[in-house]
Structure 1
C-alpha cells in the first residue's frame, strides 16, 4: 500500500467513526504538515457526505460546524463523541431532493484563494439540475443548472462574501453585524437577512436581481440601488443601463421548486433560458423567434419540454450536430415553424 492509499484509508476510517486514537493523531499531524493536505481532506469529506445522504439538512442545528469536526479529529474530544458527530455529518445532504441527487452534480471541489490563507469551497450544479446547500453561517442557497458558487471556510471578518456565476436563490441568515454579499462578475448584492434571486450567466448580457423579502443594496461601478420586496433589477452589461421593475417573484424564483414559468414571452427568450440551463444551442428561424408562449413546466426534461412546445406552438424541433474548432461534434437544436398545408 502506497502513502496516498494509506492516507485515504485513514480518512475513511475517521469519517466512518472507526479510527483509533493513534490513527486520529496521525491524520491530524498529516493535515497540519501542509495546507494542501487539509484541502484534500475537506474534498474527501464532501465526497463522503454526498455518498451517505439521509434526511433534510434544514433539521441540522447550526452549531455543527466543520471546524468542530477538525477539532475532534485532532483528538481533543473522546472517540465516542467523534463517532456521534461523524454519523451526524454522514446524514447531511446539501441537495434539494433525492431525484436531484441521482442527476448528480459536482460538490466539493476545493481550492485556496491565492491572496488569503482561507480555504475556499466551490459548488457546481450540472446543467439540467438544481441543488440546495447550507452555508457555514446557516444561510441556504439553491443553485440552478450550470451555476457555480464559491465561499470561504469559515466566514471570517466583518462580511460574509460569496461569489456566484449562474443563477442562485439566497435565503440569508440574519446577522446585523456582518452583511452577506453576493459578488457576480458585474454586480454586488448586499443583504442582512432576506430572500432574493440572482441571475448572472456569463453567456448573457444581463444580470437580474429579484427581491422576495427584506431589502438588498445592488451596486456596480456606476451606482447603488436599494431594492424593496417584489422589485426586479435588470442590468445591461453592454450599455451600463439599469431598469427597475415591479415583479411577481413566483415567476422568477419558481425554478427552485422545479418549475419554469413563462408568461407571454417570445420563444427566443424561452430558448435562451433553456440554453443556459441545459448547455445546448438553439437556432430559431425568423418566423419562430417572436411567437408568444404562455406555459408552465414542472420537473420536465428538456426532451419533454421541446415535445410540449411542438404540440402547442406549431413548431418543429430537430436535433443536429455540427463540427467545432476542436474537431468535435456538438449538438444543437434547430427550431422552425411548421409549414402550413
Structure 2
C-alpha cells in the first residue's frame, strides 16, 4: 500500500501525534521529504520538510561518525585505553579494569562497564546552566549524582549508557582542545551542509518559529516546550530528517570509497559490524540482518519526542521519521513502527 498524506494524517490522529516529518532515501538520494501536522498543538504553525525536532539519542549515531573522523585524523584510536588521552578526567581504575581497559570501541557499543545511575540524565532544568562534563562525570550535578565508574569488566556485557557517551564527549574535547559542538560543526555539519542541525545550550538559543515543541502522550505541550539535554554527544542534537539523511548518505558513499568528509570504507565497515558480546550492536547503532542486507537502526526517545533512523547501507536506502510526541511505547510498537512497516510494503 502506498503511504499517502491521507494515510499518514489518519494514523497521526489515531495516535494523537501533533506533528511529524519523514525523509526517505533510495539509491543513495533523498526520494521524499515531507512534513505533517503542526509544530505545536493548538496553533496553525505547520510542520515543514525542514522543521527541526529533538533527535534525542540519535545523537549517538552522529557522535559515532565524528569519532571515526577523528580516528581518520589520527587523533583517536578505536582500541586504545581512553585514559591515555583523557586529560581533565580519568576513568577510575578498579578490579574490573585490571584485565581489560575502557576503549572507544567498548564505549560506542555500550559494553564499557559503565552503567547509568538510576534517575540520571534528565533534561536540563529551566533555570540551570549546562553543567561542566567533568562535574557530571564526578557525580557533582543533579543530572548524575553518583561518580561514573566501571561496574563490570569491559566487553563482558551490554548496558545502554548515556554516561559512556559523556566520556566520549570529554575525550573529544580533551584531544581537540575545542568544545564538542565546535568540533562536530567543523568536521560534520559544515562539510555535509547539515545547516539545520544544532546543539542548543539554553532555551534562549531556540528560535521557535521553525522548531517543534514536545508533547506528552495526552497531547499536551510538555513543560518548557523544548527539552534540552546537557550531554550533547549522548542526546543533545536538534535536527531534521533531511539533515540526518545527509549523514546516512555519507555513510553509504563512504562504503563505496566516495566519502565527502574523508571516511574510509574499512572504518565505516566497523561502524556497521557486530561488536563484542552482542551481535546486534554496532558502533553507536543497532544491527539486524547480515551481509548486503544489513540494517542499522538508531532510536531517539525523550521528553515530548520520538524518532527513528533506519538504513540499509549496501542497498542504499533508508528512512528517518521524527515526531513531536512521546506516546509511552517503543517506536516499533507505536505509530512510527506502523508507518515504517508501511513504507517497506
TM-score tier (shorter) = under 0.3
Bigger Rg, which one: 1
Whose strand fraction is larger, Structure 1's or Structure 2's?
1
